[in-house]
Amino acid sequence: MAGSSALSLTHVTVTYADGYEAVHDVSVEVEPGEILALLGASGSGKSSMLRGIAGLEEVTTGHVLIQGEDTAGIPVHRRGCGMVFQSPQLFPHRTVGQNVAYGIERSGRSRAAVHQEVAQWLELVGLAGFAGRAVTTLSGGQAQRVALARSLAPRPRIMLLDEPLSALDRRLREELSVELRRILTQAGTAAVYVTHDHDEAFTVADRVAIMRDGRVVQVGTMSDLYGHPVPEAEGFLRAIPTVRAIAVRKLPGGGVRVVLDRSEVDLPDARGEVGDEVVVALKEHGSSH
Ligand code: ADP
Ligand code: MG
C-alpha cells in the first residue's frame, strides 16, 4: 500500500502457552527503508516480538501490519519477512551461490538471470567471486554475510535480524555492524534489528526501541534518547559524553545544523527548530556524529 509504514505494531502482546506474557502492549512503526533496533537485556522480549512479527509466534492481542497489510491469519512464508539469526543456518551441501539462489530459483527467472542476481547480492555483501565456494570453508563472518544475501535475494518486505553478530568476536562484530548498516541501506529494505549490545544498536539502526520486561519504554534516535531519556531507559543508555549545541539551520533532508566548537556540524537524525538546544552524543565511530 502506497504511503504506509513498512511495519506497524499496535498494542501487540505475545503470551506463551504457559500464560507468560513476553511482550506487553507494544506499539511502534518502522518507516520504509528505516532500520529500527530493539535493544534490551536478555529475557526482555526482543526475540518474542520479532517472532510475533514473522508469524513464528502468535500475537495474542493487537495488530501487526506489514506494508499496510494486516498479518492476522497469514502464515510465516506469505508475510514477506527475510530473517537472519545468530547462527547463519546455511544449507551445508549447497555452494555459496546455491544458498543465495535458494529463494529466487523458482521465481520463473532464467538460470542466467538468477546467476547474475546471485552475483549482485554477493557483491553487495562483500563476497564477490564466492559463488562456487563450499559453505563449509567460510569464516563465521563470511557465513553470516551469505545468510544475509540469501535473505535479501527474494526482496523481502521487511528484514528481521535476531542478534546476527552475537556469535562473533568483538572486533568482527564492530566491523560487521558498520557493514550491515551499509548493506541494509543499499538494499533499501526496512529492518528490525534485535541486539542486547548498545554500540551495535546505535551503529546499525536509524532509531532504537529500548525494551524492558516485555515493554518498549522509549523509541528514538540517539539524540532523542540521550537528550530526553525516560527513567526506565537510562540503565540502557551507556554513559557517553554529550554536549549541548544550538540549532542554526534545518537541513533539507531532515535534521539540523549546529555550531560546535566554532565548526558547523550537520546532524541528520536530530530534530528541532532553529534556536533550539540539541543534545549531541559523541561517539568514537566514524559512522555517526
Ligand atoms: P530476549 O530475546 O529479549 O532475550 P525472549 O523473547 O527470548 O527475550 O524471552 C522473553 C521472555 O519470554 C523470557 O522470560 C523467556 O523465558 C520467555 N519465553 C520465551 N519463549 C518462551 C516459551 N516458548 N514459553 C514460555 N516462555 C517463553
Ligand atoms: Mg533473544
Closest-approaching ligand to the CA atom of 49: 1
From ligand 2's centre to the CA of 51, what distance in Å? 10
pTM: 0.86
Distance CA 117, CA 166 (A): 29
Has residue 41 got a pLDDT over 70? yes
Instruction: Return the residue whose CA atom lies nearest to atom 13 of ligand 1.
Output: 43
Enumerate domains of the chain plus CATH numbers: 34-44+80-239 (3.40.50.300), 241-289 (2.40.50)
The pLDDT value recorded for residue 122 is 98
| pLDDT mean across residues, the chain | 92
Q: Which atom of ligand 1 sits closest to the CA of residue 51?
A: 6
Please return the burial class of 73, using the count of CB atoms within 10 Å of its CB with bins 0-12, 13-18 and 19+. Answer: exposed
Q: Name the residue among 62, 75, 81 with its Cα closest to residue 23.
A: 62
Contacts of 282 (CB under 8 A, 6+ apart): 240, 241, 242, 243, 289
8 Å CB contact between 80 and 66: yes
Q: Radius of gyration of the chain from Cα atoms?
A: 20
Please return the burial class of 127, using the count of CB atoms within 10 Å of its CB with bins 0-12, 13-18 and 19+. Answer: buried
- The 3-state DSSP composition of the chain as helix, strand, coil percent (nearest 5) reads 30, 30, 40
Please return the burial class of 108, using the count of CB atoms within 10 Å of its CB with bins 0-12, 13-18 and 19+. Answer: exposed
Amino acid at 33: G
Could you tell me the CA-to-CA distances from 26 to 32, 71, 92 in Å, in that order? 19, 16, 38
The pLDDT value recorded for residue 110 is 92
Could you tell me the CA-to-CA distances from 151 to 69, 125, 239, 279 in Å, in that order? 21, 12, 35, 37
Of residues 269 and 99, more confidently modeled = 99
Residues with CB under 5 A from ligand 2 (ion): 47
From ligand 1's centre to the CA of 66, what distance in Å? 23
Range 80-99 average pLDDT? 97
The pLDDT value recorded for residue 283 is 66
> 189-236: per-residue pLDDT in tens?
999 999 999 989 999 999 999 999 999 999 999 888 988 889 888 877
Cell of residue 105, nine digits: 530459483
> 108-120: per-residue pLDDT in tens?
889 999 999 999 9
Distance CA 9, CA 219 (A): 13
Range 43-64 average pLDDT? 97
Q: Of the residues 16, 49, 192, 213, which should be mutated to test ligand 1's pocket, given the most ligand atoms within 8 Å of the CB?
A: 16
Pocket flag, ligand 1, residue 46 (CB < 6 Å)? yes
Q: Which atom of ligand 1 sits closest to the CA of residue 42?
A: 4
